[in-house]
Chain A
Amino acid sequence: MSIGQTFLGLLESGPRHGYDLKKTYDDRFGHARPLHYGQVYATLSRLLKDGLVELDGVEPGEGPERKRYAVTSAGVSDVELWLASAEKPEPYLQNTLYTKVILALLTGRSAADLLDVQRAEHLRLMRELTRRKAGGDLADNLVCDHALFHLDADLRWLELTAARLDDLRRQVRA
C-alpha cells in the first residue's frame, strides 16, 4: 500500500496540514489501522525531498509549527502513473485496489480504466499458471489451482466493483 501516492492524491483537492492528511487517510483508508504520526511525517519529508510536494505555508501553533503541504506538478504525474499502472497480482491486494478506486473517484479520474488494466494483469498471470498446469504433474497443478482460485476471487471483486462504480462515485463525491 503506497501511503505517499495516496497523500499526493488527497493533496490534489488543495493544500493540507500533515494532521489533516492523517485524519482523512485514517477515515477513508485506515480500516481500523490508523497511521502513526512518524509514518505521516516521514512520508511527507520524503515527498518533499523528491519534489512531489512543496511547503505551502508554515503557521506557528501552541506546539510545533504547523506546515501546510501542496502537491507539485511532478506529484500529480506520480499519482497519475500509480493509478494507471496495474498492481502485481497477489492474494489480498484488495486494500490497495480499494484505495486506488476511491482515489480515482475522488480526483475525477477513470476508475473503470484502472479496473480494466488490473483485470488484464490478473488474466496475464492466470494464463501463465494455466500453461504451467498443462506441463506439470498433479502436485504442481494443485499449487497453480490454489493461486488461480485466489486470482479468480480478485477478478470477481473487480467485476462487481466495476458494476457498482456509478453508485460508488455518487457516495464518494457526496
Chain B
Amino acid sequence: MTGQPLLEADGLHKAFGPTKALDGASIAIRAGEIVAIMGPSGSGKSTLLHCLAGIVRPDSGHVRYQGAEISALSDGERSALRRTQFGFVFQFGQLVPELTCLENIALPLRMEGVRRREAEARAAEWLDRLDLADVGRKRPGEVSGGQGQRVAVARALVTRPRAVFADEPTGALDSLNGERVMRLLTEAARETGAAVVLVTHEARVAGYSDREIVVRDGRTRDIAREMEGAL
C-alpha cells in the first residue's frame, strides 16, 4: 500500500465480558476506497466497524485517522470527529421519527451550526440525487423501507464526510431496493471521494466494494492481497 491510509486499525483487541469480539484485528483503508468487511455472525465485524468509527474504544491496539490516534481523543473530540468527518448508515435507517425526511437529512448540518435555510437547501439537493423528491415532507413512518434507507444514505453524505460506515445497509431490504441503495451509496461516495467501510454478510452487497476483508473469530484476513503476494 502506498501513502498513508485514511483509516487504520492495528492489533485490536476487544472483549465484552468473557466474550472476545476482536482478537488482534488489523485493517487499513485508503481515501476513497470501498472496503467490505465480511464474516459470519458474531465474528466481530460490527465491533471492528465501531472501533474504526470511534464509537467503541478497543481494550488494546491502535486506531488512526489520517495518522492521528483516535483512542487518545476525549469523548467530546471523538464525537466531533464522527460528526464532521464520518457518516453512518445502519441496517434500520435510525431516522428521527418526529422530523420530516428533509429535516433528517439536514440534521448533521444543523448540528454543525449551519443555518436552517442553508442546511435544508443542501439536504434538498440530496433528495433529488437519490430519487427522493417526493418524500422530503413526509416523516420516516410514512415512507417505504427502501426510501428510508436512501434518506439515511443522504444524511450520511450531506456533510461530505471522508468516510462512511455502513453496517448491513441493505439487511432489511428486498433485492431490488437493496441494489438501488448500494448503487446510490457507492456512486455518491465515489463522486464525493468518501471511503466506505461496509459491513455485510451478503456477497452480492460486497460485490459493490473494491476489496474485502474477512473477519473470523475476531481476527482479520485480506485473502486477495495474500493471493497477490503469493504470485
For residues 20 through 66 of chain A, which have their beta carbon under 8 Å from a beta carbon of chain B?
Answer: none
Bound Cα distance A126, B209 (Å) = 10
B contact residues, total (Cβ < 8 Å): 19
For residues 122 through 172 of chain A, which have their beta carbon under 8 Å from a beta carbon of chain B?
Answer: 122-124, 126-127, 129-130, 134, 148-149, 151-152, 155-156, 159, 162-163
Segment from A2-10, A100-108, A113-121 that makes contact with B: A113-121
A123 to B212, Cβ gap below 8 A?
A: yes
- If over half of B's interface residues share one DSSP class (helix, strand or loop), that class is named, otherwise mixed; here it is mixed
Q: How many A-B residue pairs have CB under 8 A?
A: 48
In the complex, which of the residues A127, A129, A134 contacts B209, with contact meaning CB atoms closer than 8 Å? A127
Known: A116-B214, A117-B227. A134 touches B221 (CB 8 A): no
A129 to B207, Cβ gap below 8 A?
A: yes
Cβ-based interface call for B183 (8 A): yes
Bound Cα distance A151, B40 (Å) = 17
Q: Which residues of B contact A122 (CB under 8 A)?
A: 203
Q: Which residues of A contact B210 (CB under 8 A)?
A: 127
**Complex: chain B residue closest to A141, CB-CB:** B179
Bound Cα distance A49, B227 (Å) = 31
- If over half of A's interface residues share one DSSP class (helix, strand or loop), that class is named, otherwise mixed; here it is helix
Q: Which residues of B contact A156 (CB under 8 A)?
A: 203
Known: A116-B221, A119-B214, A119-B223. A130 touches B207 (CB 8 A): yes
For residues 201 through 225 of chain B, which have their beta carbon under 8 Å from a beta carbon of chain A?
Answer: 201-204, 206-210, 212, 214, 216, 221, 223-224
Bound Cα distance A120, B209 (Å) = 12
B207 to A126, Cβ gap below 8 A?
A: yes
A117 to B223, Cβ gap below 8 A?
A: yes
Q: Which residues of B contact A86 (CB under 8 A)?
A: 227
Known: A122-B203, A123-B206. A163 touches B40 (CB 8 A): yes
A151 to B203, Cβ gap below 8 A?
A: yes
In the complex, which of the residues A112, A117, A126, A129 contacts B206, with contact meaning CB atoms closer than 8 Å? A126
**In the A-B complex, the 8 residue pairs with the closest CB atoms:** A130-B207, A126-B207, A120-B223, A155-B203, A116-B223, A120-B224, A152-B203, A152-B204
